[in-house]
Structure 1
């Protein structure tokens, strides 16, 4: 969910990302604090598995202020086929509503892989939502891969200059069901488009009261130089 952990990221379909949660907040006041935990059968981020198609346990801690400012942190296990075992994200953002139909979010996210080598990167992002439509962009402002041994002339992915564009549609269905449709396009600075890719996905979710929210999800990359097999996965999250 690198995911999508403040609303600008969640709109990308990370959702990511998702998570589940316990939440503690004052009955009245400008501040709220929440923590979250969730389980997914496959951690998909921007169309691609982060766990080699295996399950993940995820959770985080968030702070929000009535002004629109928010900040937090989020963790998940990952499997990149090396010694990298977990991801730790730190993020902050500011958002608000212009009117009943239109809102916006600004964000900064640092993706850390403490037991990996030269894989951390950071993004700034912006998104806007109009009723059931959300669209946004993320720009990579820093990437450790740029300074990795053997990298010459920015020959790496997830470095400064990468762009990610995304959009999603979210609908409320009968029987407390929700339908989400999303898509994105990764425009890497490296290799003049040789590594760029698009992806699409959809999810059906249902809230189950104190038992949290369950979802059935589909994701697929639209370029044959990547794993383009359809990914079907299930998720659970809870917030209280």
Structure 2
């Protein structure tokens, strides 16, 4: 685990220094959407109820930062709002794209940008490689103190996507969520995304985990998401 953290820090510093010499261009984008269920790593975050979400993203050269918010439902006395902050860099080497970032998942019952009962921080390292029309990738997410009393965590996945035409694409992922102080679980998803317009997309996705015995929110489900970007 120490090796992973050191490697991520070194890679992030290297690409940040390399990006300083690149021409910079500022961009701003927004997104808003609704979903039949908020599913995160195979688990419902809204107790199988609908989701409303939105975010703002700022780009500057290979760097980016943003904020994103959604309703959540973990129980009667638990948070009802999630607000995430993130920043990172997306360098490319040839045809290979990388993504190194820091993400903070904040919840309405916690105060301040520090880990609380629910809130936590993750480090992300991801890579995407086109192969013909398809793209394949992998990602690692490490948290030194995950939400709850499970210690540190590591989520890792492999993913792929393939465009059937200019509007319709298929994609899927296979991942594993591990915790320091308790058992983890495997998760997977497969679905299709349809571009209704250049700014509006519809995603229909099947999600599942290997731990149906942990409760209904871990069981298989199909979620539809309508998202607008501008």
TM-score range, shorter-chain basis? 0.7 to 0.9
Q: 1:232 aligns with which of 222, 225, 228?
A: 222
Counterpart CA distance in 2 for 1:216 and 1:189 is 33
2:67 counterpart residue number: 73
1:137 counterpart residue number: 140
2:174 counterpart residue number: 183
Q: Deviations over 1:189-239 (max 9, x none)?
A: 113xxx210011111111011560011110001124324532111110111
Counterpart CA distance in 2 for 1:42 and 1:233 is 6
Counterpart CA distance in 1 for 2:146 and 2:173 is 26
2:106 counterpart residue number: 112
Counterpart CA distance in 2 for 1:118 and 1:173 is 43
Q: 2:30 aligns with which of 35, 43, 60?
A: 35
Larger fraction in helix: 2
1:213 aligns with 2:212: no
2:186 touches 2:210 (CA, 8 Å); kept in 1?
A: yes
1:21-100 aligned within 5 A = 30-66=25-61, 68-83=62-77, 84-100=79-95
Moved over 3 A (4+): 142-145
Of residues 174-183 and 224-233 in structure 1, the stretch that sits farther from structure 2 once superposed is: 224-233
1:5 counterpart residue number: none
Counterpart CA distance in 1 for 2:55 and 2:36 is 18
Residue 65 of structure 2 aligns to a residue in which SS? strand
Counterpart CA distance in 2 for 1:197 and 1:213 is 30
1:202 aligns with 2:190: yes
Counterpart CA distance in 2 for 1:79 and 1:223 is 20
Counterpart CA distance in 1 for 2:147 and 2:51 is 24
Q: When the two structures are superposed, what TM-score results if normalisation uses the length of structure 2?
A: 0.80
1:210 touches 1:238 (CA, 8 Å); kept in 2?
A: no
Counterpart CA distance in 1 for 2:48 and 2:200 is 23
Counterpart CA distance in 1 for 2:205 and 2:227 is 13
Counterpart CA distance in 1 for 2:170 and 2:190 is 7
Residue 79 of structure 1 aligns to a residue in which SS? coil
Q: CA RMSD in A?
A: 1.8
Unaligned runs of 5+ in 1: 1-28, 146-155
